[in-house]
Amino acid sequence: MTIKEIFNLTVQMGIKADFRGEDGVREFLEEKKKKYEKLPEEKKTDFDKEALENPYLDSRIYNSEEGKEVKRVMAGIDIGPAEILMAKEFGDIDLIIAHHPIGKGLAHLADVMDLQCDVLNYYGVPINVAEGLMKERISEVARGVNSANHQRTVDAAKLMKMSLMNSHTPCDNLAASFLKKKIEEKDPKRVSDVLEILKEIPEYKEAGKIGVGPKVFAGSPENRCGKIALTEITGGTEGSPKLYEKMSQAGIGTIIGMHISEEHKKEAESSHLNVVIAGHMSSDSLGVNLFLDELEKKGIEIVPCSGLTRISRV
């Protein structure tokens, strides 16, 4: 496979696993197209045209050798200059795949957060409430990533002549849909049952060995779950803390997430929500693994690094 084919595959997999459904994603892209067409000619040149085809602007190709056949990939959760040097040292890495956004992908992290409105709406939060509360949070995230040293890793890849891409939301979509299916199949009654289901998944089992397995952050294991929502696995980063009250009102009893800040935890607690934190690196690994399996099936060798617990389901 070429780098472009690998990237297109991750986007297509992300769309198939998206909470909005394929039609919802198509609509999202059409809205972007309408906005683009309304722009005056001089502003059209500045518009990021990738936005018309790629619904996940936090995921990109940064440096690529056109048409290169990829046989060996180094993949990790956070890729920095150190990992670029490692890949160079190995000598036979054709492509480095990061999970977390870098470069232009990091600058556009807030763009994927619209997805959270649809996820919340899927679980019963009125779309106007979700959009109203997320709007504020999306602009906060956009300002937050603005000051980062976006090109540090990209520059390192260019200097070392290494091909580099990242897949963030497509992989998080894969993790969310995998977990959603598991939870629906097993239909847990109590929060402790949710923990047991998660602990059977190899990525979480491995995380448990180093002390970061699935944990209850709000509520208690004896509590009944009520309606379980996978609202905090995909969609860029944490949403608005004001949403917990609305989720509770929408009939959600338990949230499964990757990570949660103290402020968000307090809000969830005061809304009587149970929060099960599956784990960050482990959940990211799960999503990335589901994508890498497809590369492995095509004969590509995977070298895991930087916090990626590689579990193959091929």
**Where on the chain is the footprint of Fe ion (CB under 5 A)?**
284
- Nearest-approach distance from CB 26 to Fe ion, in angstroms: 26
Picking from 173, 125, 134, 131, the residue whose alpha carbon sits closest to that of residue 20 is 173
The two beta strands, 274-277 and 215-218, are antiparallel
State the nearest-atom distance from the C-beta of 100 to Fe ion, in Å.
6
Using the Cα atoms of residue 55, residue 61, residue 65 and residue 68 in order, give the sign of their dihedral: negative
Minimum gap (Å) between residue 115 Cβ and Fe ion: 15
Cα angle 172, 173, 175 (rounded to 5 degrees) comes to: 65
Among residues 106, 107, 3, the alpha carbon closest in space to that of 61 is found at 3
Q: Order of strands across the sheet with 301-305?
A: 61-63, 164-166, 95-98, 72-76, 301-305
DSSP assignments along 158-196, one per residue: HHTT--EEE-SHHHHHHHHHHHHHHHHHH--SBHHHHHH
Nearer to Fe ion, 232 or 284 (CB): 284
- Which residue's C-beta sits nearest to Fe ion? 284
If the CB atoms of residues 78 and 118 are measured against Fe ion, the closer one turns out to be: 78
Q: How far apart are the first and last CA of the chain?
A: 18
Residue 93 and residue 74 in contact, taking contact as beta carbons nearer than 8 Å? yes
267 vs 284, beta carbon nearer Fe ion? 284
What size, in residues, is the chain? 314
- Cβ-based nearer residue to Fe ion, 127 or 210: 210
Task: Please identify, using beta-carbon distances, which residue of 18 and 284 lies nearer to Fe ion.
Answer: 284
Minimum CB distance to Fe ion smaller for 118 or for 284: 284
DSSP notation for 90-134 = HS---EEEESS--HHHHHTGGGGGHHHHHHHHHTT--HHHHHHHH
CB of 280 to Fe ion, least distance (A): 6
Minimum Å distance from CB 211 to Fe ion? 19
Closer of 83 and 284 to Fe ion (Cβ): 284
CB of 150 to Fe ion, least distance (A): 17
Q: Which is nearer to Fe ion, 250 or 308 (CB)?
A: 308
What is the CB-side half-sphere exposure of residue 43 using CA atoms within 13 A? Answer: 6
In angstroms, give the least distance from the CB of 267 to Fe ion: 21
Q: Rg of the Cα trace of the chain?
A: 19
Name the minimum Å distance from CB 16 to Fe ion.
Answer: 20
